[in-house]
Chain A
Amino acid sequence: MSDFFTLTVLVGTLASGIRTAMPYLLAALGETVGQRSGVLNLGVDGVMLLGAFGGYYTVLQTENHWLGVLVGLAIGLGMGLVYALVTIVFHAEQGISGIGIFLFGLGFSDLLFQELVGTPRPIKPLPKVEIPLLADIPHLGPAFFQHNLLTYVAFALVPLTTWMLMKTTFGMNVRAVGENPQAADSLGVSVAQTRMGAILFGNTMAGLAGAGLSLQLAIFQHNLTNGLGFIAVALVYFGAWRPRWVLAGALLYGMVTATRLRWQSLDIIPRGASDVAAMAPAIITILALVLLASRVRGPAALTKPFSRH
């Protein structure tokens, strides 16, 4: 245990927890906006897998990280169009259609990977961007200011998403159609267009989260996300549909994961205890849901398709 409480190890664990939180945060922020508009997207994990493969393969071919990120965004946008068609036009049950998106992403990303790559080949990881001056602060610098660009982007998007939801016309429309689509519609807000915008935003973020994951890990393999996208959906409930609480949840997941892996590598806890510790975030989420369910109300029209008559 004393190995763990050295400053270098603590700082390293903190930094790795922040990095681990990045894909959770990106995906969960996107899902937050989608759910605020009344649309549940359970397919986040599948979109992430597709974005992860797209980003990975682009970097493998071009060695250009930003092209990889762009491909991840584009794949997310494309899957958003599919999901908008399924939910807005066809009014499909959202809990189930998300599973369809997930299975498609799981299978299709694996198909492309086996066909185009075969065995996992590492790529160059996303470069670190050191924030001038701040990165030089002892201990705090390495913990907070020596991350890849996407990690900074993810954290910056927390206040930006709040601002978008609370202060912009689009955000107000999103909240209106998520609470009472009939009323919003009678005031001339297009429910379909607003939800479409929210779905596209959410899926694009999921694609970005996937690309961020594979570029950060510098690898792709079958089922790379291992359920990360499902946890991102749960974090939205955990965070009571508020970006800053979603951030808290993502950090909790990141920190628990980083600490567990660090303890395991330092032989502080045996592998078995690490498996038990891996249950903790899921159990904490369930407990949080129990506590929150009676206190916090979600968007009233969540999962309910809208039609005028």
Chain B
Amino acid sequence: MSRLAGAFVPLGAALLAFVFGAVMILALGENPIDGLLAIIDGAFGSGERIAATAVRATPLLLVGAGITIAFRASVINIGGEGQIIAGALLSTAVALWLPDLPKIVLLPLVILAGLVGGGFWGAIPGALKAYASVNEILSTIMLNIVAVQLMNYLLRGPMIDPIEVEGTRIPQTERLTDNAALPTLIEGTRLHFGVILAIIAAVVVWVILWRTPTGFRLRAVGHNPDAARAAGMNVERNIVKALTMSGALSGLAGVVLVFGSESLRLVTDGGSAGFTGSAGFNGIVAALFGGLHPLWTIPSSFLFGSLLTGATELQRDLQIPNALAIALNGLIVLFVVSSDRARGWIKDRFGAAT
């Protein structure tokens, strides 16, 4: 029973959120069935759209896979936005500095730079938590702000497209070298290598968490830090490690957002969501919905990716603002985090035969 309850409760939570979404669509004077069909059509209606959905899911999966590491180690990483930006900035800088390197050298270098940038941005709150008892929720939020302003500064100054200095001064880099672009998987669609990269990353995270001593230590520290310490584990080092790994994967999401984009450049609109599409937050949603399991985060990310691309069609077809998708994401988080206790109640009622 408990296993059944375990599977049903997140699904129930999602169902509740979708009921709420249907009510909102009704309130806006449209038929919820039409709304659902528009979302499905927008997300899967053609090869191009399926590709767009997969591309949209990619940063969610990367951030989400990182979130599973952090949350499993009991570290709450709200800094995905900042870590995405840090990864994007460092990888973009590498592509700007070394545009003439051959693709086979430059692309791995760019990916590495993204991992390092994001990892560094995650390591800061990790070290602050481990060695200065600074609450990581706060420090990651503050570092999000710092990263956005750093991006604004760099894109208006040192990294600005030389044409824009004389032109309209749009804060963006020049078009980056094609040698750093993520290869397209299917000609004619936006489907790029980043999608495969993200799936590989999720599998690697699963292997690390459940098949290596490193992962065992991370989970032990997350489960009971005192017991882990008593068993001789270095709790502080594992906290830093968890946030660094989590940040590195978000940084990789930053690489995918820049080097998988059609315009192949980094642009800011002054905030963070303009570049990240709030993937730093939506990745948390995907990870939670995937039960904080890296492999379940794969379908979960694709589900949320399809919700986001489908919402575009909803707006085009039924004039329902696509902000609906973000509101629903918020509700799903609330329902999922509330469901743990509901799960307990279901278990109590129907006997705790495990």
> Contact residues of A with B, CB < 8 Å?
40, 42, 46, 82, 85-86, 89-93, 95-97, 99-108, 110-111, 114-115, 222-223, 226-227, 230-231, 233-234, 237, 271-272, 275-276, 278-279, 282-283, 285-286, 289-290, 293-294
Q: Report the separation of the CA atoms of residues A222 and B325 in the bound assembly, to the nearest whole angstrom.
A: 14
Contact of A223 among B24, B156, B271, B340 (CB under 8 A): B271
Interface centre among B132, B320, B334 (most CB of A within 10 A): B334
The 5 A-B residue pairs whose C-beta atoms are closest, nearest first, are: A104-B330, A107-B326, A100-B333, A107-B327, A103-B330
Contact B157 A272 (CB under 8 A): yes
Contact B321 A289 (CB under 8 A): no
Mark contacts of B286-304 with chain A using CB atoms, 8 A cut-off: 1 yes-contact digit, 0 otherwise: 0010000000000000000
* B242 at the binding interface (Cβ < 8 Å): no
Q: Report the separation of the CA atoms of residues A101 and B28 in the bound assembly, to the nearest whole angstrom.
A: 22
Interface size class of B (residues with CB under 8 A): 35 or more
Chain B residues with Cβ under 8 A from A271's Cβ? 156
Given contacts A46-B330, A92-B337, A282-B142, contact A275 B288 (CB under 8 A): no
Contact B338 A115 (CB under 8 A): no
Can you pick out 30 interface pairs between chain A and chain B where the beta carbons lie within 8 Å of each other? A42-B78, A42-B137, A90-B340, A92-B338, A95-B76, A99-B281, A99-B284, A100-B331, A100-B333, A100-B337, A101-B330, A103-B281, A106-B330, A107-B330, A111-B324, A115-B321, A226-B271, A227-B141, A227-B144, A233-B141, A237-B138, A276-B153, A278-B145, A278-B149, A279-B150, A282-B143, A285-B142, A289-B132, A290-B128, A293-B133
Min CB gap B149→A, angstroms: 4
Contact A111 B341 (CB under 8 A): no
Contact B138 A289 (CB under 8 A): yes
Contact A103 B327 (CB under 8 A): yes
Q: Report the separation of the CA atoms of residues A91 and B327 in the bound assembly, to the nearest whole angstrom.
A: 22
Contact A95 B152 (CB under 8 A): no
Contact B328 A107 (CB under 8 A): yes
Contact B132 A114 (CB under 8 A): no
Instruction: Classify the interface of chain A: helix, strand, loop or mixed.
Output: helix
Contact B128 A286 (CB under 8 A): yes
Chain A residues with Cβ under 8 A from B128's Cβ? 286, 289-290
Contact A99 B333 (CB under 8 A): yes
**From A236, which residue of chain B is reached at the shortest CB distance?**
B138
Contact of A234 among B142, B150, B288, B331 (CB under 8 A): B142
* B23 at the binding interface (Cβ < 8 Å): no
* B146 at the binding interface (Cβ < 8 Å): yes
Task: State which residues 128-173 of B face A: CB under 8 Å.
Answer: 128, 132-135, 137-139, 141-146, 149-150, 152-153, 156-157
Contact of B337 among A86, A114, A282 (CB under 8 A): A86
Min CB gap B286→A, angstroms: 12
Given contacts A90-B338, A226-B271, A294-B133, contact A103 B78 (CB under 8 A): no
Q: Report the separation of the CA atoms of residues A275 and B145 in the bound assembly, to the nearest whole angstrom.
A: 11
Chain B residues with Cβ under 8 A from A105's Cβ? 330
* B329 at the binding interface (Cβ < 8 Å): yes
Q: Report the separation of the CA atoms of residues A110 and B341 in the bound assembly, to the nearest whole angstrom.
A: 31
* B73 at the binding interface (Cβ < 8 Å): no
Contact B340 A92 (CB under 8 A): yes
> Contact residues of B with A, CB < 8 Å?
24, 28, 76, 78, 128, 132-135, 137-139, 141-146, 149-150, 152-153, 156-157, 271, 273, 278, 281-282, 284-285, 288, 320-321, 323-334, 337-342
Contact A230 B76 (CB under 8 A): no
Min CB gap A296→B, angstroms: 11
Contact A279 B327 (CB under 8 A): no
Contact A97 B327 (CB under 8 A): no
Contact of B331 among A42, A85, A104, A230 (CB under 8 A): A104
**From B131, which residue of chain A is reached at the shortest CB distance?**
A290
Given contacts A275-B156, A290-B132, contact A102 B138 (CB under 8 A): no
Q: Report the separation of the CA atoms of residues A109 and B128 in the bound assembly, to the nearest whole angstrom.
A: 34
Chain A residues with Cβ under 8 A from B278's Cβ? 103, 106
Chain A residues with Cβ under 8 A from B334's Cβ? 82, 86, 92, 97, 100-101, 104
Chain A residues with Cβ under 8 A from B285's Cβ? 103
**From A289, which residue of chain B is reached at the shortest CB distance?**
B134
**From B273, which residue of chain A is reached at the shortest CB distance?**
A223
**Beyond known contacts A115-B321, A275-B153, A289-B139: 19 more, CB 8 A cutoff:** A42-B78, A96-B333, A97-B338, A99-B78, A103-B281, A103-B327, A107-B326, A108-B327, A108-B330, A110-B326, A111-B321, A115-B28, A230-B145, A271-B156, A282-B142, A282-B145, A282-B149, A283-B142, A293-B135
**From A40, which residue of chain B is reached at the shortest CB distance?**
B137
Min CB gap B57→A, angstroms: 17
Q: Report the separation of the CA atoms of residues A282 and B28 in the bound assembly, to the nearest whole angstrom.
A: 40
Contact A230 B132 (CB under 8 A): no
Contact of B288 among A96, A114, A272 (CB under 8 A): A96
